Amino acid sequence: MNIIECTDKDGIKVVCDDGTWYNHIEAEHPEMKECAAIVKETIQDPYEIYQDRFNLNKKVIYKPFVLPRPFHTYYLRIVIEYKTRKLRGGLIGYVRTAFACSNKKKGDVLLWVKPS
**Higher-confidence residue: 60 or 86?**
60
pLDDT tens for 75-113 read 999 999 999 998 878 999 999 999 999 999 999 999 999
Which neighbouring-strand residues pair with 14? 6, 93
pTM of full prediction above 0.75 = yes
pLDDT, position 21: 99
Beta strands in the chain (DSSP E): 2-7, 13-17, 48-51, 58-64, 75-84, 91-101, 109-113
pLDDT, position 8: 99
pLDDT, position 86: 85
